[in-house]
């Protein structure tokens, strides 16, 4: 059900952003375009989002005095990183409008809760089960059959905390490998999906219940990290319609105000299975900065500020490539392509696997 629309934030109001990474940085830039100020809260002094905001609180997410002062200094809070402690989100939500709701974060922080939620609202996923130790892993693999994928239930990203399981995998070692990344929240065993391609859909929903989806895009991963996003996705129209329908349905059912990114597998026979949710801007939506009427970051700001949502019509076909680790060394060569739009996140240290920037090649339709 739609909530009553709240009155829009006035120009000059302050948007609080939990998390200091590139997603927060690009959200703050979008907020500035609409006349808002941003105040970032994050633990790292040199975080990318702090470079573009005049206000930042550098403190641990557990620091209640800092959280209380932050709540008093902002008009609304959003997140750029869903793995902030839930207690911090709840603490803030009791003091200041907070979108998306902490209950949504709680679902998206845990792969088991995500898939249970999908099941509850009739959205298909791969077969899965909860595992809590090496013995329950062995029983689950015997029941499910291989291949399958073991993942830590919480705090996994970019393939961290995941182990592929084949018929001859040593399950004791697999459990130990996963447990290194686990946080004590247990694990999920998923049936391996022999997918044709991976797609994602980002959906925005305002406090009045209005929804807008960005077109489904195709995601290609390298070493479990997003490498390229191809716009639009090269999948049958029927599957893409299904993916968009799932996104719209999920946004309403989860009670979203803000953005929800949904990663999905499209199988050879056109089935669409939800893999993962992120209640925030998503790497696969960076192309919208350069090739869409409204960017995902502007859309987030509009949704949480009580403004009408913008059009999500694409202006061009596009391919977004992440610049990961050492890729950034040759970033300037992309500038030789006049249709390449380079975005660097201001990170000084190019550690392996670290997202340093991205480049979007656009192919305007006219």
Closest separation in Å from C-beta 220 to Mg ion: 12
> Under a CB-based contact definition with an 8 Å cutoff, are residues 67 and 93 in contact?
no
Nearer to ligand ADP, 196 or 249 (CB): 196
Nearer to ligand ADP, 15 or 188 (CB): 188
Nearer to ligand ADP, 53 or 109 (CB): 109
Number of residues that bind ligand ADP (CB under 6 A): 15
Q: Does 126 bind ligand ADP (CB under 6 A)?
A: yes
Residue 26 and residue 301: Cα distance in Å, rounded?
A: 11
Can you tell me whether residue 175 is helix, strand or coil?
Answer: helix
Residue 123 and residue 272: Cα distance in Å, rounded?
A: 9
Q: Does 224 bind ligand ADP (CB under 6 A)?
A: yes
Residues in touch with Mg ion (CB under 5 A): 263, 276
Q: Does 353 bind ligand ADP (CB under 6 A)?
A: no
Stretch that binds ligand ADP, among 86-94, 190-198, 297-305, 322-330 (CB under 6 A): 190-198
Nearer to Mg ion, 53 or 283 (CB): 283
Choose the one of Mg ion, ligand ADP, none that binds residue 66, judging by a C-beta under 5 to 8 angstroms depending on kind: none
| Maximum alpha-carbon separation in the chain | 61
DSSP 247-310: HHHHHHHTT-SEEEEEEEEEETTS-EEEEEEESS--GGGTTHHHHBSS-HHHHHHHHHHTPPPP
Residue 203 and residue 209: Cα distance in Å, rounded?
A: 12
> Under a CB-based contact definition with an 8 Å cutoff, are residues 194 and 150 in contact?
no
Closest separation in Å from C-beta 210 to Mg ion: 27
Nearest to 17 by CA among 58, 61, 49: 49
Q: Does 193 bind ligand ADP (CB under 6 A)?
A: yes
Tokens read off for 314:
């694409």
CA angle 80, 81, 87 (to 5 degrees): 115
Among 156, 281, 314, 357, binds ligand ADP (CB under 6 A): 156
Closest separation in Å from C-beta 39 to Mg ion: 29
Among 95, 157, 181, 310, binds ligand ADP (CB under 6 A): 157
Nearer to Mg ion, 151 or 302 (CB): 151
Neighbours of 134 (CB within 10 A): 15
Among 34, 96, 192, 248, binds ligand ADP (CB under 6 A): 192
Among 158, 208, 227, 271, binds ligand ADP (CB under 6 A): 158
Residue 23 and residue 20: Cα distance in Å, rounded?
A: 8
Neighbours of 335 (CB within 10 A): 11
Q: Does 281 bind ligand ADP (CB under 6 A)?
A: no
Stretch that binds ligand ADP, among 52-60, 91-99, 187-195, 292-300 (CB under 6 A): 187-195
Closest separation in Å from C-beta 5 to Mg ion: 33
Nearer to ligand ADP, 26 or 165 (CB): 165
Nearer to Mg ion, 240 or 261 (CB): 261
> Under a CB-based contact definition with an 8 Å cutoff, are residues 114 and 105 in contact?
no
Closest separation in Å from C-beta 56 to ligand ADP: 27
Rg (Cα) of the chain, in Å, rounded? 20
Q: Count of residues for the chain? A: 366
Residue 307 and residue 106: Cα distance in Å, rounded?
A: 26
Q: Does 316 bind ligand ADP (CB under 6 A)?
A: no
Stretch that binds ligand ADP, among 69-77, 94-102, 151-159, 252-260 (CB under 6 A): 151-159
Among 101, 244, 276, 290, binds ligand ADP (CB under 6 A): 276
| Sheet-wide strand order for 76-79 | 55-58, 37-42, 14-18, 76-79
Closest separation in Å from C-beta 221 to ligand ADP: 5
| Residues in touch with ligand ADP (CB under 6 A) | 126, 149, 156-159, 190, 192-193, 198, 221, 224, 263, 275-276
């Amino acid at each position: 059900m739609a909530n009553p629309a709240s009155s829009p934030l006035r120009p000059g109001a302050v948007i609080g952003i939990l998390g200091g990474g590139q997603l927060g940085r690009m959200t703050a830039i979008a907020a500035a375009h609409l006349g808002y100020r941003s105040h970032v809260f994050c633990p790292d002094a040199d975080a990318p989002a702090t470079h573009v905001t005049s206000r930042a609180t550098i403190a641990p997410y557990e620091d209640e005095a800092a959280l209380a002062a932050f709540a008093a200094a902002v008009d609304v809070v959003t997140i750029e990183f869903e793995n902030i402690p839930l207690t911090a989100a709840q603490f803030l939500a009791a003091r200041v409008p907070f979108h998306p709701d902490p209950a949504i974060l709680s679902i998206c922080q845990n792969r088991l809760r995500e898939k249970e939620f999908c099941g509850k609202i009739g959205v298909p996923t791969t077969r899965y089960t909860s595992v809590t130790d090496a013995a329950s892993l062995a029983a689950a693999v015997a029941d499910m059959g291989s291949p399958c994928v073991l993942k830590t239930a919480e705090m996994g990203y970019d393939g961290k905390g995941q182990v592929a399981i084949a018929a001859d995998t040593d399950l004791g070692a697999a459990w130990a490998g996963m447990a290194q990344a686990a946080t004590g929240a247990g694990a999920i065993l998923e049936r391996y999906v022999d997918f044709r391609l991976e797609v994602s859909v980002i959906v925005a929903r305002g406090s009045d219940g209005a929804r807008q989806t960005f077109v489904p895009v195709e995601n290609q991963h390298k070493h479990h990290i997003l490498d390229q996003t191809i716009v639009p996705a090269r999948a049958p129209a029927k599957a893409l319609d299904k993916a968009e329908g799932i996104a719209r349905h999920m946004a309403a059912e989860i009670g979203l105000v803000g953005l929800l990114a949904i990663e999905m597998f499209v199988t050879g026979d056109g089935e669409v299975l939800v893999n993962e949710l992120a209640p925030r801007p998503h790497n696969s939506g960076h192309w919208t900065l350069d090739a869409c009427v409204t960017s995902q970051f502007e859309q987030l700001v509009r949704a949480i500020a009580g403004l009408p949502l913008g059009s999500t019509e694409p202006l061009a076909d596009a391919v977004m490539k992440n610049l990961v680790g050492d890729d950034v060394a040759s970033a300037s060569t992309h500038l030789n392509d006049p249709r390449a739009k380079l975005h660097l996140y201001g990170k000084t240290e190019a550690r392996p696997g670290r997202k340093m920037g991205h480049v979007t090649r656009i192919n305007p339709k006219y």
